[in-house]
Every structure is written in C-alpha cells, then in structure tokens.
C-alpha cells in the first residue's frame, strides 16, 4: 500500500468522516436501557460478543468479498449487487437495516464531491437502489488503493470506536475506561482480520439473536438518544 493510501485509510476511519455513524448505537442503547450493559466490563463484553458473532464473522467476510468484486479489471457489478442485497437481507431489525442504508447513502453523496476518484466508481454506486455501508466503503477503499485487509480493520475499528463513544455518553463510562475497552477491542479486531486473511472462503455467520431482539426493542424505546 502506498504512503498516500495510508493517509486515505486514516481519513476513511476518522470519526470526522461524515457518514452519520455518530447517530446510531447499533443496538447498544437498548442493551444499556435493559441493564445488560452497565459498566466497563459489560461494555467490553458487549463489544467483544458483537465482534465475534456478527461484525467479524459476517460483515468482515462480506466486506472482503465486496472488495474483490470492486478490484476486478472490470468491476463485477452483478456480484456487488448480489452481495449488497444479501447484506441488507441479513439486517434483522428495521433500525439495523435503515442504519446501513442511511450511512451508505451518506457516503455515496460524499463520494460524488470528492476529487480525483476513478471514473468507474460513481456510476456503479448510482446503479444500487439501496447502497449498504460496506458496499460503498469497500468501493471507496478500492478507489483509494487501500488493501482489503486494511480496509476491513478500519471498518471494524470505526464500529468499535463508535460503540465506545456511545457507552461513554450513555452508560456512562469514563475516558480511561473507554481506552481500555478499545485496547482489548483492537487486539480482537487484529485477530479477526488475520483469521479472515488466511481463509480462501471464510464461512459467513450472523447468528446474534440477542442483538436482533434488543435492536427491535429499541424501535419502541421511550427515551433514547440514538436512531438505532
């Protein structure tokens, strides 16, 4: 990966990247409301479990598959459309589905105004009726010359970092506790990324019923700060 691609990776993973992730808790707010997450240890457990049973076992392999479709000499649009549709179908609540579509749309709008991107990127994105976040993310990462392995780590990191920020606001946990959680999450993300990189066709599993139930409950939660 070039030095320029490394700086683009930092930009892609930055909390300042305007895709609206800050407005979503991805089910964590409901877990806090239920009392399941109430301190540093339970925050660490929540993030670790979702990484193990959903983000790392399903979203990361799908992101890699999307990256491969983008990196074909001629972008494999049919495969991207199939993977995007499959990903949306695995969102088990209305809020989880709406969150990835909202962030996908926001990133697609941003991509339109960014300079020096290859001509093939925007037409493919425009052809998707409902672009998911990983589909647009992998497309922009490919356009910036970011390797799929690095793109995947950044994708999981931004999710984990946002979860910690939600916990800091809502549990609440302190800043030092948040950094301790991120240290452990970072080590787990590295292990997940290394495992996926060594497999030719990793099994995709999104079996996280607790997350689905809590996310569904959030839809009718009376008091909330986040959209999901």
Q: What pLDDT score does 73 carry?
A: 85
Q: Determine the CATH number of domain 25-218.
A: 1.10.4190.10
Return the C-alpha torsion angle 76, 80, 82, 85, nearest 10.
-170
pLDDT category at 196 given cuts 50, 70, 90 is: confident
pLDDT in tens, 77-129: 999 999 999 999 999 999 999 999 999 999 999 999 999 999 999 999 999 99
pLDDT category at 74 given cuts 50, 70, 90 is: confident
Q: What pLDDT score does 155 carry?
A: 98
Q: How many residues does the chain have?
A: 228
CA nearest 62: which of 132, 157, 159? 132
Average pLDDT on 189-216 reads: 90
In the chain, where the domains are located: 25-218
The mean-pLDDT minimum among 67-76, 169-178, 195-204 falls in 195-204
The mean-pLDDT minimum among 23-32, 79-88, 111-120, 197-206 falls in 197-206
For the purposes of burial, counting CB atoms within 10 Å of the CB of 138, is it exposed (0-12), middle (13-18) or buried (19 or more)? Answer: buried
pLDDT at 202 over 90: no
pLDDT at 223 over 90: no
Are residues 90 and 133 in contact, defined by beta-carbon separation less than 8 angstroms? no
**C-alpha distances in Å from residue 201, one per residue of 56, 66, 106, 195, 197:** 14, 13, 30, 11, 10
């Amino acid at each position: 990966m070039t030095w320029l691609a490394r700086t683009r990776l930092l930009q892609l993973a930055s909390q300042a990247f305007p895709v609206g992730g800050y407005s979503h808790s991805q089910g964590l707010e409901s877990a806090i409301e239920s009392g399941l997450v109430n301190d540093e240890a339970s925050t660490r457990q929540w993030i670790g479990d979702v990484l193990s049973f959903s983000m790392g076992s399903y979203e990361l392999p799908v992101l890699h598959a999307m990256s491969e479709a983008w990196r074909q000499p001629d972008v494999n649009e049919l495969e991207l459309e199939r993977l995007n549709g499959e990903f949306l179908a695995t969102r088990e609540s209305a809020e989880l589905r709406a969150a990835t579509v909202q962030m996908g749309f926001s990133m697609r709008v941003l991509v339109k105004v960014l300079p020096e991107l290859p001509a093939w990127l925007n037409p493919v994105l425009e052809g998707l009726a409902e672009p998911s976040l990983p589909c647009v993310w992998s497309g922009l990462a490919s356009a910036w010359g970011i390797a799929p392995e690095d793109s995947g780590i950044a994708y999981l990191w931004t999710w984990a970092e946002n979860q910690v920020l939600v916990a800091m606001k809502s549990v609440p946990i302190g800043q030092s506790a948040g950094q301790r959680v991120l240290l452990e999450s970072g080590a787990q993300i590295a292990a997940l990324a290394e495992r996926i990189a060594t497999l030719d066709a990793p099994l995709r599993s999104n079996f996280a019923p607790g997350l689905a139930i809590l996310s569904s409950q959030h839809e009718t939660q009376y008091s909330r700060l986040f959209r999901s």
